[in-house]
Amino acid sequence: MKGGVYLDAEVPQLVQQQFALVRAARGKRQRFPENVVEVVESAEAALQRQDPAQNLHAAEVVGPSRSSEGFRLYYLVRWLSE
């Protein structure tokens, strides 16, 4: 379990751990709506395209997961540039 999201090995296409660019101010926030997350193919691609001056950060995330309100969310595993 990561951030309240269970990873099911039998249905891996539902919620996956992946690399992404997150457009948000870094802070204590641990989950992000899908409209600020862009999934990329690798950690290297995320690191190459990040732009902290524009609040675009490379991260490893788990998702998407549907919230109780019906939103699709990604949960932060770690920032890649730490």
pLDDT at 28: 87
Query: Does 68 fall in a domain?
Result: yes
pLDDT at 68: 86
Query: Does 74 fall in a domain?
Result: yes
Q: How far apart are CA 62 and CA 22, in angstroms?
A: 12
Query: Does 6 fall in a domain?
Result: no
The domain in which residue 42 lies consists of 16-79
pLDDT at 14: 64
How many domains are there within the chain? Answer: 1
pLDDT profile of the chain (82 residues), mean per 10? 51 77 92 96 98 96 89 94 81
Query: Does 1 fall in a domain?
Result: no
Distances 41 to 1, 29, 65, 70, 79 between C-alpha atoms, Å: 23, 23, 19, 26, 16
Query: Does 31 fall in a domain?
Result: yes
pLDDT at 4: 55
